[in-house]
């Protein structure tokens, strides 16, 4: 299997399928968390939304992690009522939080129910004193990441946390960590799986500046389907 040389990538690891990718990324999160806690006594991680990370979070909950010293943030959130099934924090609660013991003060949901502008201001205040050790990222079929979409003004917004309007992936109103905040994280890991992501990967390989391509020095975990398109 020819491993694509994604520009800007620190590493590209190809996995047979989503299950293998999920196990591997869960193990990487555990490794990075252990080092961060050993060095600084705490691990700050921003979680990815969407479907791809589900199994990774289900794997993560099986690991013996020091949750007392781990703080969970979100890379983005959809502006929907609290508890809505389509919210990323609802997905994380179901796949991870309901299965581990972590202080509630360590889980930092984006208050997206307040609307994009107010939620972005609130979350920026929280993050202004945090250096993220790791950001997990998905990539959409159009090459978006977090809620930073191609051609959307939010993608160029240099604020710590940005409101997103007119997102092409429903809901139209979202909140996202800004591109600079994503890039300022000590480490970034992409989880990309499925044939539907092949075209966006191809465009990035051709040097097209999709939002995901603007994330520097990330570790890309991709499955064979995303590489081959089959």
Cβ of residue 210: shortest distance to ligand 6PG, in angstroms?
A: 12
Q: Which is nearer to ligand 6PG, 37 or 84 (CB)?
A: 84
What is the smallest separation between the CB atom of 53 and ligand 6PG, expressed in angstroms? 7
Long-range CB pairs of 119-122 (<8 Å, 24+ gap) are 119/77, 119/79, 119/161, 119/163, 119/175, 120/159, 120/161, 120/162, 120/163, 120/175, 121/161
* Choice between 64 and 201, CB closer to ligand 6PG: 201
| Residue closest to ligand 6PG when measured from CB atoms | 138
Q: Using CA of residue 63, residue 131, residue 22, residue 90, what is the dihedral sign?
A: positive
By C-alpha distance, which of 161, 182, 164 is closest to 173? 164
Write down the least CB distance from residue 226 to ligand 6PG, Å: 10
Q: Which CB, 43 or 57, lies closer to ligand 6PG?
A: 57
* Beta carbon nearer to ligand 6PG, 77 or 133: 77
Residues that bind ligand 6PG (CB under 6 A): 48-52, 76, 78, 88, 138-140, 144-147, 169
User: Closer CB to ligand 6PG, residue 12 or residue 110?
Assistant: 110
Minimum distance between the CB of residue 176 and ligand 6PG, rounded to whole angstroms?
A: 8
Shortest distance, position 154 Cβ to ligand 6PG, whole Å? 12
């Amino acid at each position: 299997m020819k491993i694509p040389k994604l520009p800007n990538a620190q590493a590209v690891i190809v996995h047979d399928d989503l299950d293998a990718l999920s196990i591997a990324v869960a193990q990487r999160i555990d490794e990075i968390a252990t080092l961060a806690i050993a060095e600084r006594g705490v691990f700050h991680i921003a979680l990815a939304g969407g479907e791809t990370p589900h199994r990774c979070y289900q794997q993560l909950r099986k690991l013996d992690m020091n949750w007392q010293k781990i703080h969970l943030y979100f890379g983005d959130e959809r502006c929907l009522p609290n508890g809505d099934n389509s919210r990323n924090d609802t997905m994380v609660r179901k796949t991870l939080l309901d299965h581990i013991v972590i202080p509630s003060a360590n889980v930092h949901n984006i208050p997206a129910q307040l609307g994009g502008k107010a939620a972005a201001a609130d979350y920026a205040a929280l993050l202004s004193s945090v250096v993220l050790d790791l950001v997990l990222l998905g990539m959409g079929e159009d090459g978006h990441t977090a809620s930073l979409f191609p051609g959307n003004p939010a993608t160029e917004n240099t604020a710590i946390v940005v409101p997103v309007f007119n997102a092409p992936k429903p809901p139209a109103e979202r909140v996202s960590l800004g591109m600079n905040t994503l890039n300022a994280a000590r480490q970034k890991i992409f989880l990309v799986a499925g044939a539907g992501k092949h075209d966006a990967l191809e465009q990035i390989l051709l040097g097209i500046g999709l939002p995901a391509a603007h994330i520097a020095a990330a570790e890309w975990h991709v499955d064979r389907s995303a590489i081959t398109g089959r």
